[in-house]
Amino acid sequence: MAIAKPADSYRHQGLRKLLVQNIRAKGISDVQVLAALETVPRHFFFDSSFLEYAYEDKPFPIGAGQTISQPYTVAFQTELLQIRRNDKVLEIGTGSGYQACILAELGAKVFSVERQKTLFDRTSKFLPVVGYPSIKTFFGDGYKGLPAYAPFDKMIVTAAAPYVPDALLDQLKPGGILVIPVGANEVQIMTTFTKNPDNTFAKKEYGAFRFVPMLEDKAKEL
């Protein structure tokens, strides 16, 4: 059965404007990031039974033990990435595909890895339907990155990493930025690693967040 594109409405557009105002009030100032959040219909990524929750600034379960991130968190991580048009971006944790669409709206070339097969199957078919055929999705272990497509200008991890995978650091271009929530407990520290020309890294921390765990699996090499 073909997947139908969900409907957008003036009501949904109004709710997105209110959501963006809320996120701006919380400190997100990048106008392009805010514009992307106002453009991408978050309710597209919700089951029709839960549309009333789509424009709350909260995470929400999407199945397979995963969540669609809180819009503020999406905006925060995206702002840290400092996306420029045509940046080659690796996303670890496709999930619903919402974060990937935000990156694509900013002009990034998005490569996204998902380890949950049910989510991968659903999202890889859904993204072209809602207008994002350029996003490349892969099923596999995010700890390994995507060596066949490296190096990347930017990387974003959308799950709690107990440690920073060396493979991701190795696949980052000099001058590139990795945004990753680090911590093995219930609360993680949002962290950026910027790669220097000599392959060392400048590390910065940005406070506490909560993510579902980033799990390794035994998928074949990508």
Angle between helices 71-81 and 31-39 (to 10 degrees): 140
The answer to whether residue 124 is catalytic is no
Catalytic residue of the set 9, 29, 49, 69: 69
Q: Which amino acid belongs to residue 45?
A: F
Helices (H), 40-192: 71-81, 98-105, 117-129, 166-170
CA 207 to centroid of chain Cα atoms: 18
Residue 106 identity (one-letter amino acid): L
User: The tokens of 74 are what?
Assistant: 């999406």
Scanning the structure block, which residue is given the tokens 């271009």?
173
Q: Considering Cα of 84, then 87, then 92, then 94, what sign does the dihedral take?
A: positive
Active-site residues: which are they? 69
